[in-house]
């Protein structure tokens, strides 16, 4: 073997990174925040709230009365802080928060009938167009998977990747939910029009 070949091989080996460095998963921001929250840092909790509050708000909006959503968002995060010891995987805090939000919405939904929601919205007298209410009602009438994904996309303004990242769903599932949900929504709105 010539000196050139030996030098080339040595250079190749020196530039190669160890497998652990190549395959090591980067530490997510949520993991660091969870650790800081466990130590009692309010700033970390504020940042976590800022990251996931739109997602929690969208999930609750798909299920409960609009005027109750803001209070329930606060309750969800307080409940999450109290039960932080149940969170096994810090990377999955988004999916965990989504689960808490759905459970909280289910508890709230048992005490209120769906017909009361629309009447309450009309009675509030706020500056809300009937068209928006009708669209929201149409989205709420869709199946759970489509309803939730469409509200996160159309109301909260999250992209498909953001929805998948925060809720724990796969991008393919989110794409299918968006496509089929949009198709069904267009049919409902088209029938009314």
Partner 1 sequence: MNENYLWDKTGDDAEIEELENALQAFRFQKNEAPRLPAKILPFQAKKSWRSFFKFGLAFAACLLFCIVGVKFWSLHYSGENLTAEIKSSETAAQNPVAQITAPRAENFPAPTVEKIKDFPVKQIKFSRQPLKIKLAKAPKTIPAVKLKNNADDERFAPAETVAKLSREEKFAYDQLLLALSITSSKLKIVKDKIDNSESSKSIQDSEK
Measured from the CB atom, the residue of 29 and 179 that comes closer to partner 1 is: 179
In whole angstroms, how close is the CB of 45 to partner 1 at the nearest point? 6
Size of the residue set binding partner 1 (CB under 8 A): 43
42 forms part of the interface with partner 1 (CB under 8 A): yes
The CA-CA-CA angle for residues 171, 33, 83, to 5°, reads 90
- Residues whose CB falls within 8 Å of the CB of residue 56, separated by 6 or more in sequence, listed in order: 73, 76, 77, 97, 98, 101
- Binding letters toward partner 1, positions 68-107, x by CB under 8 A: --x--xx--xx--x--xx----------------------
* Nearest to 166, CA basis, from 101, 75, 114: 101
- Output 29 or 186, the one with its CB closest to partner 1: 186
The pair phi, psi for residue 72, each rounded to 5°, is -70, -30
> Could you give the CA distance from residue 32 to residue 27 in angstroms, rounded to a whole number?
8
Site map (CB under 8 A) of partner 1, residues 136-155, x = contact: x----------------xxx
Long-range contacts at 167-170 (CB < 8 A, ≥ 24 apart) = 167/55, 167/94, 167/95, 167/98, 168/92, 168/94, 168/95, 168/98
| Per-position x/- string for 158-187, each x denoting binding to partner 1 as judged by CB under 8 A, each - no binding | -xxx-------------x--xx--x---x-
Residues 113-132 that bind partner 1 (CB under 8 A): 128-129, 131-132
To partner 1, the closest distance from the beta carbon of 73 in angstroms equals: 8
CB of 47 to partner 1, least distance (A): 9
User: Of 101, 94, 34, 114, whose CA–CA distance to 70 is shortest?
Assistant: 101
Contact status, residue 80 vs residue 100, Cβ threshold 8 Å: yes
Report d(CA 186, CA 113) in Å as an integer: 26
List residues near partner 1 by CB under 8 A: 37-40, 42, 45-46, 48-50, 53-54, 57-58, 61, 66, 70, 73-74, 77-78, 81, 84-85, 128-129, 131-132, 135-136, 153-157, 159-161, 175, 178-179, 182, 186
């Amino acid at each position: 073997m010539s000196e050139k070949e030996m030098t080339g091989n040595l250079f190749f080996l020196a530039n190669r990174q160890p497998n652990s460095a190549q395959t090591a998963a980067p530490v997510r921001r949520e993991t660091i925040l969870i650790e800081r929250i466990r130590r009692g840092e309010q700033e970390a909790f504020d940042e976590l709230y800022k990251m996931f509050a739109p997602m929690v708000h969208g999930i609750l909006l798909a299920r409960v009365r609009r005027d109750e959503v803001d209070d329930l968002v606060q309750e969800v995060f307080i409940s999450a802080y109290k039960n932080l010891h149940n969170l096994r995987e810090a990377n999955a805090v988004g999916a965990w928060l989504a689960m808490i939000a759905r459970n909280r919405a289910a508890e709230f939904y048992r005490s209120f009938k769906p017909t009361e929601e629309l009447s309450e919205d009309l009675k509030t007298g706020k500056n809300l167009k009937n068209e928006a209410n009708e669209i929201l009602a149409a989205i709420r009438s869709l199946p759970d998977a489509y309803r939730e994904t469409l509200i996160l996309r159309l109301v909260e303004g999250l992209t498909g990747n953001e929805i998948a990242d925060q809720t724990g769903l796969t991008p393919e599932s989110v794409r299918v939910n968006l496509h089929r949900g949009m198709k069904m929504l267009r049919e409902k709105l088209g029938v009314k029009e």
